[in-house]
């Protein structure tokens, strides 16, 4: 991750307060420390300075003089070929040769240097929009991972899921490796051979299997594998990682694309097939595959069966928005909140689209509604602040920038918030402390 200087200065001021006494040795006295993988709480350069301030020596390479290797917790410490990082392999080899090298994860390192509060940054919870900005993952992909069980929200507030940053980052790394052509077996071999403690509490095996099977999301039940929309698959085991369609059990209409000739035909089609296939799930699958025109039709068919389902309206709006049909998408998001007024993510989409259409006063109202429903929603504070700045009222945005930073100090949104507060000569809030399960 990229940490700003102001964040690091704040960390250092905390660290200095915990280690200013010379009655006891500094916690890293005599240690030669290096880092591998991406750190979730700071950059490698900042971490190296932290080592120096606590009595240790920061080194760039692994050698027999190394005493401590710290493994970053933003994703797994795997190279592009799926193997352990070079430093991790070298440190493990030294351990096997009898050299007393310790291998710690980032959280344990932060405890050693007295930054237990910063440890919570590694376990911080984020909304899909925040994760999208920080990790470069499309929001719809995060929603897809959640819907298919690859991710499980730690909590939900008015339909809005909050995810463990580390879990999402780790899943992104697995997905990137698979998309790059690294085999499932190679990745699993690397994960299982990580030193004890580095994968404690993190069980990616099921995630890896779901991601890997023929690059399609599938589920395993008592009869084997099946796709989300119900198509049964032959499972040939772990050796080949291949699947084939079971034509005997497959829906004879399964390969048909939804085709609309008229409103009446569409309605009859939806009602006639409502017992055979779930049009909402079909639409989600098509949207995940970027078959957006077909997804729109599938969601419309789903609404003919369930016209008052706010989730269908929301996903139809999302598909329309991705097709750049902003006005049509806006109507669907409004339909979702007409059915469920507290659907906070729909209010956020309404506000965001009005911002894009340069209808700033309406956008401001939408974000205000979102904050009435969920006063601590970081996304709403951030976008309301941006809208106030655009309207020429930067001073009114100050409490919203501050509130956003109370929830999140990292990533591009946090950097914008800090810059805006500095321009207004406003106070920066302290680094937030957030538990894993708020």
Candidates 104, 75, 109, 78; CA nearest to 91 is: 104
Q: Average pLDDT for residues 142-171, to the nearest whole number?
A: 81
> 228 or 147: which carries more pLDDT confidence?
147
Both tokens of 369, joined, read: 């509604």
Q: Which helix (H) or strand (E) segment is 155 a member of?
A: strand 155-157
Rounded to two decimals, the pTM is 0.63
The CA distance from 357 to 353, in Å, is: 6
171 has pLDDT over 50: yes
Predicted pLDDT of residue 259 = 37
> 35 or 14: which carries more pLDDT confidence?
35
pLDDT tens digits for range 174-216 = 888 888 888 878 887 888 788 866 765 555 666 676 666 534 4
The CA distance from 325 to 156, in Å, is: 29
pLDDT tens digits for range 24-56 = 788 999 999 999 988 877 788 888 999 999 999
For 427, residues 6+ apart whose C-beta sits below 8 A from its C-beta are 402, 421
Q: Which CA distances in Å does 426 have to 382, 385, 419, 430? A: 16, 14, 10, 13
How far is CA 58 from its chain centroid? 31
Predicted pLDDT of residue 270 = 53
pLDDT tens digits for range 61-84 = 999 999 999 998 877 788 888 888
pLDDT over 70, % of the chain: 72
> 141 or 325: which carries more pLDDT confidence?
325
Predicted pLDDT of residue 115 = 76
> 389 or 82: which carries more pLDDT confidence?
389
Q: pLDDT grade, residue 299 (50/70/90)?
A: very high
Lowest mean pLDDT among 257-261, 386-390, 397-401: 257-261
Q: b/e map of 372-404 (b: 16 or more CB within 10 Å)?
A: ebbeebbbbbbbbbbbbbeeeebeebbebbbbb
The CA distance from 32 to 67, in Å, is: 5
The CA distance from 166 to 126, in Å, is: 10
How many helices (H) and strands (E) would you count in the chain? 20, 11
Lowest mean pLDDT among 97-101, 313-317, 355-359: 97-101
Contact between residue 408 and residue 432 where contact means Cβ atoms under 8 Å apart = yes
Q: Would you call 153 helix, strand, or coil by DSSP?
A: coil
The mean pLDDT of the chain is 78
273 has pLDDT over 90: no
């Amino acid at each position: 991750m990229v940490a700003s200087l102001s964040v690091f200065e704040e960390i250092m001021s905390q660290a200095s307060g915990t280690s200013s006494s010379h009655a006891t040795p500094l916690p890293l006295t005599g240690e030669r420390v290096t880092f591998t993988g991406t750190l979730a709480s700071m950059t490698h350069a900042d971490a190296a300075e932290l080592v120096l301030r606590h009595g240790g020596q920061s080194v760039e390479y692994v050698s027999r003089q190394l005493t401590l290797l710290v493994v970053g917790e933003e994703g797994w410490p795997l190279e592009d070929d799926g193997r352990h990082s070079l430093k991790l392999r070298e440190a493990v080899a030294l351990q096997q040769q009898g050299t007393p090298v310790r291998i710690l994860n980032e959280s344990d390192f932060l405890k050693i240097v007295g930054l237990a509060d910063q440890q919570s940054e590694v376990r911080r919870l984020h909304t899909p929009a925040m994760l999208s900005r920080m990790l470069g993952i499309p929001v719809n992909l995060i929603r897809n991972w959640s819907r298919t069980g690859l991710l499980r929200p730690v909590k939900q507030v008015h339909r809005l899921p909050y995810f463990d940053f580390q879990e999402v980052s780790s899943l992104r790394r697995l997905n990137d490796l698979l998309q790059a052509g690294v085999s499932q077996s190679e990745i699993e071999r690397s994960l299982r051979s990580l030193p004890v403690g580095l994968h404690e509490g993190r069980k990616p095996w099921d995630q890896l299997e779901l991601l890997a099977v023929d690059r399609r999301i599938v589920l395993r039940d008592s009869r084997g594998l099946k796709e989300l929309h119900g198509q049964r698959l032959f499972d040939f085991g772990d050796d080949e990682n291949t699947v084939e369609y079971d034509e005997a059990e497959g829906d004879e209409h399964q390969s048909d694309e939804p085709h609309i000739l008229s409103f009446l035909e569409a309605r009859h089609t939806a009602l006639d097939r409502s017992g055979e296939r779930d049009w909402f799930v079909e639409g989600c699958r098509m949207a995940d595959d970027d078959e957006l025109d077909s997804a729109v039709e599938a969601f419309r068919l789903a609404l003919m069966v369930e016209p008052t389902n706010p989730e269908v309206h929301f996903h139809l709006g999302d598909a329309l928005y991705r097709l750049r049909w902003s006005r049509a998408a806006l109507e669907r998001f409004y339909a979702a909140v007409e059915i469920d007024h507290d659907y906070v993510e729909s209010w956020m989409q309404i506000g965001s689209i009005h911002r894009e259409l340069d209808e700033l006063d309406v956008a401001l109202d939408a974000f205000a509604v979102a904050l009435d429903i969920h006063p601590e929603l970081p996304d709403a504070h951030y976008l309301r602040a941006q809208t106030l700045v655009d309207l020429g009222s930067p001073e009114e945005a100050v409490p919203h920038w501050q509130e956003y930073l109370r929830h999140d100090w990292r990533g591009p949104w946090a950097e914008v918030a800090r810059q805006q507060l500095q321009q207004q000569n406003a106070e920066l809030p302290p680094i937030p402390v957030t538990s894993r399960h708020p």
